Structure 1
Amino acid sequence: MDAIWTLGNQDTPRYAPLNADADADVAIIGAGITGLTTALTLAEAGQKVIVLEAREVGGGVTGGSTGNLYSTLASGQASIRKKWGDEVSRDVIRARSEAVDVIEALIERFAIDCQFQRQPAYRVEPANDSKAGYDWDEEKAALADAGLDVEAADHPGLPFATQGIKISDQAQFNPLHYVQGLATVASDLGVIIHEHSPVRNVDHKQGTVTTDTACVSARHVVYATHTPKGLNLLQAGMLVSREYAVSARLKSGHYPEGIIWAMDPFHSLRSYRQGNEQHVIVIGEKHKTGEQKGDHYRHLQEYLQTHFDVEAFTSQWSAQQYSSPDGLPYIGRLHGQDTVYLATGFAADGLTWGTLAAMIISDQVLGRDNPWQARFDARRITPGKSATQYTKENAHVARHMFKDYLSTEKLKEADEVAPGQARVAKVDGEELAIHRTEDGQLKVLSAVCPHMKCIVHWNNAESTWDCPCHGSRFDCDGEVIEGPSYHPLARRIR
């Protein structure tokens, strides 16, 4: 199923693929919240902008997000305060609050129909849970010190007793409808958007961005791709994970209102109304990309059935996260490149970080000062705050490189894979990703990820091939879905 945000999504404008060489002031790769907010801002400043999107507008991480907008962090404010101190903790809240206000202002200014509303955020745990032990005093102190209105949680509408805190004046919306609205406004201002135009190469020195069919030449290039494409040192320290979502209609009972983070150990809940129909959404089951274990959608369905009177499940989807080693996003100029920009390391907080990234990058392109540029600089080096995760993630990559090549099973023929199965196996000395569809169609690909030559793993929940090293993902035909890889998995004829 698609994300719930696609409901009522007929009559959506579509944009033709790039089919001829073109010139621009700025080429933006990615038509999510980062790319389109940047494009709109630059177009209003008189820049000629071309946006290249591999799929469709909002079809990546933005369209798979929670639709929650908040000043704090989903993982909690106390951890960032402990790592960085009071000043940085305050800056995170101030910068993110400013970004949420920018989203609200754009919605009002351009009359974007995306169900935006201000809502409180709750961080709660089951009442009288002996296994809980969350430090509420530490979290409240971090939030209050940064200027947020925090109080003991009143009842957030969950059908079980909880205790925790409430943060006022946060927000929710439909993220897909929002970026589709941004695309319409940007297009009206002269931004040229090309869907179904996956980028295969970027030449930083020449300022060229190449797809399968044509090339864009630009003075500035922006990677609005959630992680930079190709090889980049930032990827070495990034924790890449996936999280799942399930929505349902209820037979009876109340739908919870607001942003709810339930520390049990962690589920994110919210409601969403489309027309006359209301849904409850639960997000959770996070795991490292390429290391899926178990039926994550079923576990979320069981969670909803345990706590709510479910009538029917309506959608299920997943999204990818990139968490930086020092807890802050990387936004701004690429190392050694003054006209190439990136934004990554958003963790689970990408809608707000993506908007802030657009504000910072747009100002850099236009030669304007931005108060947040230095704080989230993509060129910063913070070994004291980053070393632990860098060490873990590089060991993780090395382990997969060693283990996956040595432990690949051997098959005499790809035909040994049964309908509905997918296996990574060595056939005639080559590692292959083999999938046979339920109707018997055999699809054989190289199992070697083009990015860093790791072996991909099958994600049964999504029917995708996922790389455990740096998060590149491929559909069952081998095409890149997301991640740093420019190129698809090579097809093999068997």
Structure 2
Amino acid sequence: MDVAVVGGGMAGLSTAWELVQQGRKVAVLEAGRLAAGVTGHTTAKLTALHTLTYDHLRRTRGPTGARLYAESQSAAIRHAAEIVDELGIDCDWEEAAAYTYGEQPRLLGKLQAEAEAAREAGLAAEFVSETELPFQVAGAVRVTEQVQFHPRKYLLALAEDLRRRGGAVYEHTRVVGLTEGEPCVLATDAGVSVRADKVVVATHYPVFDRALLFTRLSPRRELVVAGTIDEDRAPRGMYITPEQNTRSVRSAPYRDGKRLLIVTGEHFTPGTADVEERFARLSTWAVGHFPGFAISHRWATQDNDATDSVPLVGPLWLGSRHTYVATGFGGWGLSGGIMAGRLLSDLVNGREVPWAGLYDPRRLLSVVREGGSFLKHQAQVARHFVGDRLPAPTGPSTADIPRGGGAVVRVGGQQCAVHRDENGQLQAVSARCTHLGCLVAFNRAEQAWECPCHGSRFAPDGQILQGPAVRPLERRDI
């Protein structure tokens, strides 16, 4: 086999499809179902306007870096449009304007600077003082001719075409080991080995990390509420503000004179928040700002922020000749994933790409670009590594755990993650994340154990919900 792609989300399937188009023999290995992980929980904005990215890039990467970022992201949107036309994909494709807005006047300076930087980078960006939103804004950056769509429908069509062209797709196949060589060998949880000349790791958070990329990635979980709203009250643009711990809004086609309104926000580090309280806060804001909005669904998604705000796409580590990675999209994994697919396929085939250096994971740590974010992230991780190992003067007992709740309890000298189900039955697993050993915490709203260090998530019985962990939490008897 020429290339094995680990991960069946936007980045993985985009890479595999590009390679099959170029005549490569490719297999995709997905731990769950295709496009059902992070991509399946996205709010589905396909845009090159990424909140307040361009002014930051202009200051940290210079005008050339900002321009390359804009060109690569815009090229991804155009490429996706070409694929939709070529394959005739029915994926609710809608052209829409993207906005970064602020309700408070104190954000005006940043918005004006972002509009100027985005324009210099090549986007058709402008600063506006009015929008279609049903509440007043102080100002906004607007970029037209962006897209909103249904990414799962898009990716399932890509997978179907990939198979038709001879590519292979294996769902429910978790990759747990990688041996680099000629060929590379991937080990799976089913005990089957896969050999390939090249390997692409597109698992959102890298499950293999020769370059210690976990030191430059910070996991971020975000909440989403959705429901119907009358079509004449639904915004047609895509909106985001960094205010109030982020608020992101868009609408999608529905039926019977309604559209689906999708509102995102309240980001937090996994395992560190009262999630029910944050869901309530987001719901209150959404209903208060959009009259007639009837919430019917809620979920959460997870992203990884690179400490210098630029995704890591390219060779997996300094000495890598056969392995590649795509990660750190910072909430913009649709345009980023499509960009990564084209970039990685070109790198595999030995072609030069103008923006390869911008995204190269092997780039050196820069104090100017990422010093503050890097040190903050390392301090948070270190606090968990050290604090989790210090004996607590007091702690919860199993009797303190309510139905539907969970807590880390010391039993017989071991720290156990104990959950009490709605029937009152206790279930215990090891409280140490199998990735690097941080102590997990319980997210009652989503009924999951979460690692605050690198974002691994586990079901109450210890099974993996989300990596980078590749092994479940071990069962414990209490």
Give the CA deviation at 1:89.
0.7
Mapping 1:131-280, distance limit 5 Å = 132-153=107-128, 155-162=130-137, 163-205=139-181, 207-213=184-190, 214-232=192-210, 233-250=212-229, 254-265=233-244, 266-276=246-256, 277-280=258-261
Which letter does structure 1 place at the counterpart of 2:263?
V
Mapping 1:308-387, distance limit 5 Å = 308-310=290-292, 312-335=294-317, 336-384=319-367, 385-387=369-371
Give the CA deviation at 1:25.
1.6
Q: Is the counterpart of residue 293 in structure 1 residue 274 in structure 2? A: yes
TM-score between both structures, scaled by the size of structure 1: 0.90
Tell me which residue corresponds to 1:110.
87
Give the CA deviation at 1:69.
1.0
Structure 1 distance, partners of 2:70, 2:131, is 23
Between stretches 400-409 and 180-189, larger displacement belongs to 400-409
TM-score between both structures, scaled by the size of structure 2: 0.93
Task: Report the 3-state secondary structure (helix = DSSP H, G, I; strand = E; otherwise coil) of the residue aligned with 2:160.
Answer: helix
Give the CA deviation at 1:150.
2.4
Task: Report the 3-state secondary structure (helix = DSSP H, G, I; strand = E; otherwise coil) of the residue aligned with 1:46.
Answer: coil
Structure 1 distance, partners of 2:128, 2:106, is 20
Structure 2 distance, partners of 1:326, 1:180, is 32
Give the CA deviation at 1:182.
1.2
Structure 1 distance, partners of 2:260, 2:308, is 36
Aligned residue-pair number: 469
Tell me which residue corresponds to 1:448.
432
Change (3 A) 1:408 1:212: farther
Task: Report the 3-state secondary structure (helix = DSSP H, G, I; strand = E; otherwise coil) of the residue aligned with 2:263.
Answer: strand
Structure 1 distance, partners of 2:119, 2:18, is 32
Between stretches 61-70 and 147-156, larger displacement belongs to 147-156
Which letter does structure 2 place at the counterpart of 1:156?
T
Contact 1:411 1:427 in 2 (8 A): no
Give the CA deviation at 1:370.
2.2
Give the CA deviation at 1:26.
1.1
Change (3 A) 1:408 1:183: farther
Could you list the per-position Cα deviations for residues 55-88 of structure 1 after superposition, in whole angstroms to 9, with x for gaps in the alignment?
1111111111111011132344212222211111
Tell me which residue corresponds to 1:13.
none
Give the CA deviation at 1:409.
7.5
Structure 2 distance, partners of 1:477, 1:48, is 38
5+ long unaligned stretches in structure 1: 1-23
Give the CA deviation at 1:355.
0.9
Change (3 A) 1:36 1:149: same
Change (3 A) 1:147 1:55: same
Contact 2:396 2:408 in 1 (8 A): no
Which letter does structure 1 place at the counterpart of 2:268?
H
From 462, 473, 476, the equivalent of 2:457 is: 473
Give the CA deviation at 1:408.
5.1
Tell me which residue corresponds to 1:64.
41
Structure 2 distance, partners of 1:453, 1:96, is 36
Give the CA deviation at 1:231.
4.1
5+ long unaligned stretches in structure 2: none
Structure 1 distance, partners of 2:41, 2:87, is 23
Task: Report the 3-state secondary structure (helix = DSSP H, G, I; strand = E; otherwise coil) of the residue aligned with 2:24.
Answer: coil
Give the CA deviation at 1:444.
0.8
Structure 2 distance, partners of 1:407, 1:134, is 48
Which letter does structure 1 place at the counterpart of 2:207?
K
From 433, 436, 445, the equivalent of 1:461 is: 445
Structure 2 distance, partners of 1:409, 1:209, is 44
Give the CA deviation at 1:268.
0.7
Change (3 A) 1:235 1:263: closer
Which letter does structure 1 place at the counterpart of 2:9?
G
Structure 2 distance, partners of 1:184, 1:134, is 47
Structure 1 distance, partners of 2:208, 2:459, is 19
Change (3 A) 1:152 1:141: closer
Structure 2 distance, partners of 1:412, 1:292, is 18
Q: Is the counterpart of residue 492 in structure 1 residue 476 in structure 2? A: yes
Could you list the per-position Cα deviations for residues 179-229 of structure 1 after superposition, in whole angstroms to 9, with x for gaps in the alignment?
111111111112111111112212223611121212211111111111211
Give the CA deviation at 1:367.
2.0
